[in-house]
Amino acid sequence: IFVMLAHPVAHAKSPGIFNEIFEQKGLDSLMVPLSCRPEDFETFWAGITAAENIRGVIISVPYKVAVYHKCSAAHDRAARVESANSVRRLPDGSWYADNFDGVGFID
């Protein structure tokens, strides 16, 4: 399971795009859009971390900085701006942050 996190999340196109790719490639995966009020973020993130079958999260506003600070390791792109738009779970259960915003802007 992968999660798209935003508030609000109704505008998010990532779940549809990723689910189509998962299906085309025959992958047993699903991306679910989830909305969380900012005041509930700490509880929400604890739940995401406790759910062992969540493998990654795509992050949108307003959570990019908050999620970055929940990660134990990060790509240089994310570390430079202290912001993450994607995280993946590491084998030890911790999170690894990356940020593709600049890459997408240049491409």
Q: What is the pLDDT of residues 27-48, one digit of tens each?
A: 999 999 999 999 999 999 999 9
| Residue 15: domain span | 2-106
Angle at 105 between CA 103 and CA 107, to 5 degrees: 65
Residue 35: closest CA among 72, 10, 13: 10
Number of domains in the chain: 1
Q: Give the model's pLDDT for residue 102.
A: 73
pTM of the model: 0.90
Q: What is the mean pLDDT of the chain?
A: 94
Rounded to an integer, the average pLDDT of 87-102 is 95
Output the domain CATH number for residue 58.
3.40.50.10860
Q: Is the pLDDT of residue 104 over 80?
A: no
Q: Is the pLDDT of residue 1 over 60?
A: yes
